[in-house]
Amino acid sequence: MTIRVLIAPTLLLVAVAAAADDSRTREVIALERAGTAAIESGRFGDALAAFSRAAAVRPRDANLCFGAGVAAFMLAQDDIAQARFECALALNPDFLEAALWLADLHHRAGRLTDAISIYEDIQQRSAWTSKLQQKLDGWRKEQELQRRFREAHSKHFVALFERADDEPVARDVMARLEAAYRRIGQVLGAYPSRTITVVLYTRDQFDDVTGLAAWSAAAYDGRIQLPMGALEMPEERDRILSHEFAHAIIGIVGGRTVPAWMSEGLATALEPAAIPDKDARVVPGRVPLRLSELERGFIRLSSSDAEAAYVSSARAVRLLIERRGMSTIIALLHDLARGIPFARAFAQRLAMRYEDFAARIGTSQ
């Protein structure tokens, strides 16, 4: 009798603990499903919240860290993304996807050594493919090149360039970027808090490192990358530099879900002395491209399609600014950074359906 009295509460406690465990497991499963569904439908704010809550309940689950990392990456919350990917890898060093995402994050930030060392680790642990080898080779080449590069600094930028003779160009580039920083920062009401790197290449180096189409005049992937030849025409310098800086700040304000057409159109609209009619011009005999085809980057487009893509993008953004003003576009970017899917944020801010607007841009002159 005495023993039963002693045992009974213990059994009860075990049962309560098991029930609590069960309910925690169910909670984590529900949160993980909700997080995955949110990522699939582009609701990255919801995804980050769900995976973070799940990870708080089950901190030793590498998948939950990874899910939170992906969501944070898309929201351009890079410090959180890095910590979450590192958490996933600490819990499971063989987690290939987490390693690939973390390496990509380091590469975009210009931390080539970190990016390369993660790939070297993958090479030791996981199924290695020729595609991964190609990427590693490219990064090593880029690192070797940049080891030879010199650095010059201005208040908000650091320029990397190869030859001492190029220092005046680097200084000129940074002075123009500082001017763009003040001008565009004021228009968008946002200033990057981190130093932005600009890498000055020869055309061959630029082609080799970025692998971009021959029509590209510059690139932004976390750093501004420029072939110096693109700056030869003085009247083009401010346009190109301001355009690339605009991409940087659009990414910082809006995160990584801003559709390419909006980023390109806005960067074009923010070019100094943008000529409205020039940007709206439709290439004769060519129907403007549909916005739905221009949501990802333009890098795979041919030169003539790219020209049409820039025209359509500039036209779309110019129409939006005319209708609702720049402040609405900025509010829309902030919505995206909070993780609201583009179509929903667009409908709320612009008071029309994105599909209707996109169809109009794609078909009308």
Q: Taking the complex as a whole, how short is the minimal distance between the CB of residue 264 and Zn ion, in angstroms?
A: 5
Residues 64-123 that bind Zn ion (CB under 5 A): none
Rounded to the nearest angstrom, the gap between the alpha carbon of residue 154 and the centroid of all alpha carbons in its chain is 24
Question: Which residues share a beta bridge with 199?
Answer: 160, 225
What separation in angstroms does the CA of 316 have from each of 63, 182, 311, 356? 39, 25, 9, 12
Q: Torsion-angle region of residue 351: left (phi > 0), alpha (psi -120 to 50) or beta?
A: left
- Classify residue 345 by burial, with Cβ atoms within 10 Å: 0-12, 13-18, 19+: buried
Residue 82: CB minimum distance to Zn ion, A: 26
Q: Tell which positions 343-362 bind Zn ion, by CB under 5 A.
A: none
DSSP state of 110: T
Minimum Å gap between C-beta 282 and Zn ion is 19
Closer to Zn ion by Cβ: residue 168 or 211? 211
Shortest Cβ distance from residue 297 to Zn ion (Å)? 9
- Distance (Å, rounded) from C-alpha 330 to C-alpha 200? 30
Find, among 58, 96, 60, 88, the residue nearest to 72 by Cα.
88
Contact yes or no for 126/120 (Cβ under 8 A):
no
> Among 100, 26, 82, which residue's Cα sits nearest to residue 58?
26
Please, what sign has the CA dihedral across residues 326, 330, 333, 339?
negative
Q: How far is the CB of 139 from Zn ion (least distance, A)?
A: 23
Smaller CB distance to Zn ion: residue 269 or 361? 269
Which residue's CB is nearer to Zn ion, number 116 or number 269? 269
C-beta closer to Zn ion: residue 102 or 267: 267
Of the pair 267, 308, the CB lying nearest Zn ion is at 267
Rounded to whole angstroms, the Cα distance separating 149 from 245 reads 21
Using the minimum distance from each CB to Zn ion, give the nearer residue, 142 or 264. Answer: 264
Which C-beta is closer to Zn ion: that of 166 or that of 264? 264
Per-residue binder mask for Zn ion (CB under 5 A), 133-152, x = binder: --------------------
CA–CA distance, 271 with 217 (Å, rounded to integer): 14
Distances (CA, A) of 273 to 41, 185, 212, 261: 38, 16, 27, 20
Q: Which 240-279 positions form the footprint of Zn ion (CB under 5 A)?
A: 264, 267
Please, what is the minimum distance in Å from the beta carbon of residue 243 to Zn ion?
5
d(CA 137, CA 131): 10
Q: Provide, rounded to whole angstroms, the least separation between the CB of residue 187 and Zn ion.
A: 17
- Closest contact distance (angstroms) between CB of 284 and Zn ion is 23
Residue count, binding to Zn ion (CB under 5 A): 2
Q: In the complex with Zn ion, which residue's Cβ is closer, 14 or 280?
A: 280
Q: Tell me which residues touch Zn ion (CB under 5 A).
A: 264, 267
